[in-house]
Structure 1
Amino acid sequence: MAYTFDVYGTALPGRPSEQNSLASIGALAQRAERFGYEGLLVFYNHENLDPWVVSAAMTQHTKTLVPLVAVQPYAMPPYTAAKLIHGMASLYERRLDVNLITGGIKGELDQVGDRADHDERYERAAEYMTVVRALLDSDGPVDHEGRHYRFRGLRTFSRLPAALRPRVFVAGSSKASLAAVGSVGDVAVTHPEPTAAFAETFVAPRLGDPQALGIRVGLVARRTDEEAWAEARGRYVGDRRSRAMTAMKTRSESDWNRRIAALAMSGDTHDDVYWTGAYQAEKGLMPLLVGSYDRVAEYLEGYLSLGVSKLLLGGVLSESDFHHNDAVLSRLRS
């Protein structure tokens, strides 16, 4: 069966460097566009390059690629986000998508004095995006009286035509995150559990909801299972400290962190393909699907058959990475 789905890769994270320069950001964006990716996910945290700067660099080097830019409510007021979205979409005549985040790094929340708890941050994010959408929908004055934001007669002249308005991705699997998706989201995204658990814990509670489903995973696929597992285990090596950190994450306030950590503690491999090795090695929060091209495609098909239509893939950087992933994705499209 052939499936229709959008694929987003991941922009280079980190500080400015030879590996994270304007040229390398542009080269990765062009590579993703050439392989038919819808866009690239751009992270936000205090250490990385600003996601708006990275998004502008990506857009400048490509013709159709869509930045999926992390929007953190505490980092800027909603009218500034609306102006940035409007400016980029207008200048490049291209949609920019929003990955609405709430802040999962406690140290960074402490640095800015953010005392809101997990559920309050999702509530604030939903209200934030409500204001942003209002400013993108109309040039008229916006009145808003909420718990977190209050505006009277706010005009930013940032109206966009419908085709250029962003799709809003909301990540999480808790009740608070799903409420935010229902309020302002177009796509509900999670780091998935193995397919059977994913169907029960994430898909079933959302049956009938209009939002699209997205998952963030990594693919380590090669011609044979043996080659793929050798690559995965050689690339992601844990140690005593990382295993201790995994155990601590079973008490995280993040619902999906607790779920993935519990899976990792119960065994690193599930269904012969789903692997938590990168998570246990503290080299990413996403699970990996490991195996031959056919085996990984078959496992990924399980998610697509449950209604997933957005794949957010991590660890796809080199020409070789794109070729290996394409061998899997082409099997699902044809």
Structure 2
Amino acid sequence: MPRRQFEVFGTAPAPHPREGDPLPLITKLARRAEEYGVDGLLAFYNHKSLDPWAVASAILLHSKALTPIVALQPYALAPFTAAKLIHSLNRLHGRRIDVNLITGAAKEELDQIDETLDHDQRYERAIEYATVLRHLLSSDEPLVHQGRHYRYRRLRTHSRLEPEEQPRIFVAGSSPASRRAAEQIGDIAITHPEPVDAFAETFIAPSGSGPKTGIRIGLVARPTDDEAWEVARALHPSDRLTERKTLMRKRSESDWSRRLADLASRGETYDDVYWTGAYRADKGSMPLLVGSYREVARYLDRYLALGVDTILLGRLFTEEDFRHSSIVLDAVRAGT
């Protein structure tokens, strides 16, 4: 039986700048990820955490082959600045840098910058942003661009990269607007998945056309189901406050937050493995797969059988996290 082929990315630590020295955390995680065969690390963007480009630089400096995925927020960085950063990091480290194009789901952060675009309009801006970015990374010819959001007159950034050095663009989201953006400018459409049967109906393209598909999940796997569930529930206790927050998220502007809030409000567990407990406990926006190594591997394999070929793992920080997850991932690759 041929081995399953898929990529696995972890998530870089995103400590608040005042939470102590973050460099040892990032360095240790990068080296551990490389030791366990992880392909790269996602660097988040939000107003509280370290800048993802600085985090990506640390990942590149303290690893040999990891690919950073840098969260790229159009309102925070002009496309020509992003092109220069991607080109510069590639030249300095001889490695591809991928980007996760995001549009903003935290209303308080959008309010802080007086964002005037609505949800769908932000994806329209992202499409134009990526179009400009791709030109600047693929050609040194002057760019003349008269768009709705960006206007340039013979712009040259001298940031051309060879085809194999070009960043892949991950487009985050599950709404129709995000899907249109992924179709037009994305290499990989990434989302927090629903339980696998619902995911097959709501997210997977029937024809298999369009960009590749990636999912962001967490794994809590142990030798037995009972051990795994004991760990999961100890890590993510919920209370009345977090339950109210879950209900409030059903009105979120974010499509995937509304979907998960709806699932979480109806129940914690689906298919005996898919668990919304972390979301219900306000400990993250992704679902967890919980159970024995065998059961979690089987469930994850069902996503891959639908066409998923990129996995972004949250909750992958300690040696124990990597060890347990690697048992699941090795079983999926081997088809056991």
TM-score (norm 1): 0.98
In structure 2, distance between residues paired with 1:290 and 1:24: 26
1:18 deviates by 6.5
**Equivalences for residues 120-269 of structure 1 within 5 A:** 120-204=121-205, 207-269=207-269
Aligned length: 333
The residue type equivalent to 1:111 in the other structure is: Q
Runs of 4+ with >3 A deviation: 16-20
What is the match of residue 282 of structure 1?
282
In the other structure, the counterpart of 1:98 is 99
CA contact (8 A) 1:14 1:49 kept: yes
Contact 1:8 1:40 in 2 (8 A): yes
Unaligned runs of 5+ in 1: none
Report the identity percentage: 58
3-state SS of the aligned residue for 1:33? helix
Q: Which residue of 1 aligns with 2:297?
A: 297
Distance in 1 (CA, whole Å) between partners of 2:18 and 2:225 is: 35
Contact 1:14 1:20 in 2 (8 A): no
**Cα deviation digits, residues 55-106 of structure 1 (max 9, x gap):** 1011000110000010000001110000000000111010000000001111
Partner of 1:27: 28
Distance in structure 1 (CA, Å) of the matches to 2:308 and 2:318: 26
More moved, 143-152 vs 127-136: 143-152
1:19, CA displacement in angstroms?
Answer: 6.2
How far 1:152 sits from its partner (Å)?
Answer: 1.4
Task: Compute the TM-score of the two structures, normalised by the length of structure 2.
Answer: 0.97
Q: Is the partner of 2:47 in helix, strand or coil?
A: coil
Change (3 A) 1:130 1:20: farther
User: Secondary structure of the equivalent of 2:38?
Assistant: coil
Query: Secondary structure of 1:250's partner?
Result: helix
Displacement of 1:20 in angstroms is 5.2
User: Match of 1:317, as an amino acid?
Assistant: F
CA RMSD of aligned residues (A): 1.1
AA paired with 2:312?
L
Q: CA deviation at 1:17?
A: 5.7
1:63 aligns with 2:71: no
**2:69·2:98 contact (CA, 8 Å) conserved in 1?**
yes
Task: Decide whether aligned partners of structure 1 residues 89 and 178 sit closer, same or farther in structure 2, where only a CA change above 3 A counts.
Answer: same
Distance across 1 between alignment mates of 2:225 and 2:242: 26
> CA separation in 1, counterparts of 2:274 and 2:245?
20
* Alignment-mate amino acid for residue 226 of structure 1: D
Distance 1:20 1:232, change over 3 A: farther
The answer to whether the 8 A contact 2:15-2:22 is kept is no
Q: Secondary structure at the match of 1:189?
A: strand
Letter in 2 for 1:190: T
Once residues 257 and 299 of structure 2 are traced to their aligned partners in structure 1, the CA distance between those partners, rounded to angstroms, is: 22
Asked if the contact 2:40–2:66 (Cα under 8 Å) also holds between the matched residues in 1, the reply is yes
Question: Which whole-Å CA distance do the structure 1 matches of 2:61 and 2:138 have between them?
Answer: 25
State the shift of 1:208 in Å.
Answer: 3.5
Gaps of 5+ in 2: none
Q: Aligned letter for 2:217?
A: V
How many angstroms apart in 1 are the aligned matches of 2:69 and 2:52? 9
Letter in 2 for 1:38: D
